[in-house]
A and B are shown apart, each in its own frame.
Chain A
Amino acid sequence: MDLMPSAEQEAIRSAIRRVLGDRVPTTRLREAMVQDTPAMPELWQEAARLGWFGLHVPPEAGGSGYGTAEAMLLFVELGRTLAPGPWLGTVLAADALAADGLDRGSLDRLLAGTLAVAVADDPEGVLGETERLEGVIDGVADLDAADAVLVVGPRRVGWLLREPRLEIAVRVRPCMDPTRRLGTLRCSGAVVRALAVDAPRLRRLGTLLAAAEALGVAERALEASVEYAKIREQFGRPIGTFQAIKHRCSDMATRTEAARAAVIWAALAIDEGLVEAAEWVCMAKILATKAALENTHDNVQNHGGMGYTWESDAHLFLKRARFLEHAFGGRMVHLDALAAPWRADS
């Protein structure tokens, strides 16, 4: 048992952090987010070159052959920098296409960085699970940047290329998180290919990676507050000397560590194929989004008047936390899932 990263995992993490630090300073992020589609094509190409989309994909399918733990490390770093782009859908699609094994062409393009994928989480099966999708699904992030959509239904995962066709209509609009756009996917008999991949497993992976991204947001909000509390002076001393600030930072750190431990645990449980993984992923998502939301709120407060401005980055982290809260199910959904067995009649 060892819940600390190995030397190799540390190396992977620091390499990712270095690239994202160079490519996604917030000045660049702010330029990207006012574009029609807030993407960073150079970063996307570099990510492809470095194999980030296929970290946990087996080597024979073109990936790096690492596990969920390494993919988790990537998403923590993405959350820390608020890197824009359809990362979640693309990494999940790499997993699904590799497991399916029948569309090597799409997988190769995806891993080469020329095919980006949005994910439509459809746990209730609104679009149906037949070969033709029928219906509307709302709140699909990054549809504007995607060449394909991965539809994760209750029992089936569908693969939908977004080439121009009459049976698919997409409407895109701004999101509270200004680094991405939200979309509505309207299908009227669109033919979908069912991928041979276990839908609940893929949803678990997506939930875990969203939790990891939220953890990264929580980490950065904590660090930003601590950095500021050390240099900002009022009443002739750093505000970090005041217990009102110090204790809040301490609470931020504690809930971040709780989330980190739960996210790592859940990632390892997926890799080791443990039956409790479903429950542990729920817990990781609950704790990570809770930490992200609470930390980003606290971070605005710790920055005082500056924290309330558009110029400060504090709101960007808060809005990403808000977005991630809803990715693959909000806290209420996951809490209810945990409580469901207790509520079943005995």
Chain B
Amino acid sequence: MNWTSVADFLDMGGYGFYVWGSYLVSLLCIAGEIVLVFNRKRTLLRHLSLIHQSTKQEKGNETTS
């Protein structure tokens, strides 16, 4: 074990800013990419289901009229 306490761990031998700055931004980038990709998917699926519903309605209108 390299660390004697939590404060020691966060300090990273005086390099805390650089080490945690690297890992924090990496985490943000990965989390951000995941959020963006799922947002894109949700928007697309909503869009597709709207198209699907409207075409179903159009078909329904054709048979009734």
A binds B: no
